[in-house]
Amino acid sequence: MTDTSTAVRAEIQIKAAVPTFLVPDVAGTARWYSEHLDFRTAGTFPKQEPFAYASLRRDGAEIMLLSLAGYEKPNLSARRRQRRIQGSARRQWHSRDRLRHRAEL
C-alpha cells in the first residue's frame, strides 16, 4: 500500500522561490527596479496604475511587489549597528586569542 501524501510529494518539484516585497507604491518601486537594476515588469494587477501587484524579472530571477496601504519599511539601522559592533568585538576577541596562542608556541 502506497502512502498517497508521499506519492504526491514525490511528484512535486520546486524549481524556484520568489520573494515578495511589501511596498507602499508598486508602480514607483517597479520603475526604480527597472531604471536602476534592469528588471522588466512581467505582469501587473490591475493593468493600470495604481497597481496592487507586480511581477519583475531579470535574467533567471523574479521578485514580486505587493501593495500594502500605509506600509512603512521598519527602521532596522539601530539593529544593524548593534550587530556590526558585536561582530567587531568577536573578531577582536578571536584575533587576541590567535595572538595569545602564537605567543604560547
Q: What is the CATH number of the domain that holds 49?
A: 3.30.720.120
Which amino acid makes up residue 34?
S
Note whether 34 and 50 are same-domain residues: yes
> Which structural domain range is residue 48 located in?
16-72
Give me the percent of the chain exceeding a pLDDT of 70: 67
Domain co-membership, 60 together with 41 = yes
Q: State which amino acid sits at residue 95.
A: S
Tell me if 3 is assigned to some domain.
no
Q: What pTM, to 2 d.p., does this model score?
A: 0.60
When divided into structural domains, the chain yields a total of: 2
Q: What is the pLDDT of residue 73?
A: 80
User: Do 35 and 79 fall within a single domain?
Assistant: no
Q: Which residue has the higher pLDDT, 6 or 67?
A: 67
Mean pLDDT, to the nearest integer, of 30-47? 97
SS3 44: strand
